[in-house]
Amino acid sequence: MQKVESHSRASTISELQVRARRLRLHVLRMAERVGQGYVGQGLDIADLLAVLYFHEIRYDPHRLDWPDRDRFVLSTGHYSIGLYAALAEAGVIPLDELDTYGADGSRLEMSGSEFTPGFEMTGGSLGQGLSQAVGMALGLHLDGRDARVFNLLSDGELQEGATWEAAMAGAYYRLDSLFAFIDCNNQQADGPPRQVMAVEPVDEKWAAFGWDTQRINGNDIEAIVTAIDAAKTVNGRPHAIVMDTLMGKGVRLFEQREKAHFIRVGPDEWDLARQQLEAS
């Protein structure tokens, strides 16, 4: 079972910040190999993944089918580059395997699948993750297990009707073992969500659906830890943590791109990206 035991809050936050930085370096390592991809999302979500995999989630990297494990459900399959980084850092997959990212025959495809160690679902088609997370949480409850389900979905997915059907079901069944993290990075394939189909106010909508809801800075590790701790004190309702994040977080070169959903990076830009991450 993996879990960071906090000898003091300050040291725990500091250790998680180091983990998040390492995850971002892993993301750059993978993306440089192919020269393009969902780099911004991997950098964006590193803080949450550091908190979950090195502080909160109960799992055994050597026994991935352990029935009492907590589940992490990645609805946004194109964020897989970030999850690969976390799984490698956690010892679920070898670090050297990151160099196969995007290669023919690799287990590390741009959108991960259930064939990849540590993946609970195939998330290529958006809008499906919360439905599966609700089903997992309900099944665990019916089996009498105390395992929890952590689901990552995005602001763009809130344009999908199935997401709100699942949200309604999660509240109806009072699934307080279910945690949904909604990544609001203000980017989707066709531009900012407000220019495609506006989804705000996101936090008010989740609260209206009966979820215990908080809105935080999703790139602030202490805020993430605090929000999860607060959610765990609320019984009888599923938990929605709405996170405002920055695409490309930690690398100014990517943060400043007007469209960063899928980016191509010149060969001369990778050293600059690493330098900016080290300096951030």
Say which CATH class 9-279 falls into. alpha beta
CB 33 within 8 A of CB 104: no
**Model pLDDT for residues 108-130, shown as the tens digit of each residue:** 998 888 889 999 998 877 879 99
For residue 1, pLDDT beyond 90: no
pLDDT tier, 4 (very low <50, low <70, confident <90, very high otherwise): very low
The mean per-residue pLDDT over the stretch 247-274 comes to 85
CA distance 279 to 266: 20
Predicted confidence at residue 236, as pLDDT, reads 98
For residue 5, pLDDT beyond 50: no
Predicted confidence at residue 246, as pLDDT, reads 95
Q: Which residue has the higher pLDDT, 214 or 257?
A: 214
pLDDT tier, 3 (very low <50, low <70, confident <90, very high otherwise): very low
The mean per-residue pLDDT over the stretch 236-241 comes to 98
**Model pLDDT for residues 32-63, shown as the tens digit of each residue:** 988 888 899 999 999 999 999 999 999 999 99
Q: At what angle do helices 9-34 and 221-231 cross, to 10 degrees?
A: 120
pLDDT above 70 coverage of the chain, percent: 98
Mean pLDDT is lowest, of 98-102, 123-127, 199-203, for 123-127
Predicted confidence at residue 6, as pLDDT, reads 43
Average pLDDT, the chain: 92
The mean per-residue pLDDT over the stretch 252-262 comes to 80
Predicted confidence at residue 257, as pLDDT, reads 79
Predicted confidence at residue 149, as pLDDT, reads 98
Predicted confidence at residue 190, as pLDDT, reads 74
For residue 69, pLDDT beyond 80: yes
**Model pLDDT for residues 165-194, shown as the tens digit of each residue:** 999 999 999 999 999 999 999 887 777 778
pLDDT tier, 7 (very low <50, low <70, confident <90, very high otherwise): low
Domain ranges of the chain: 9-279
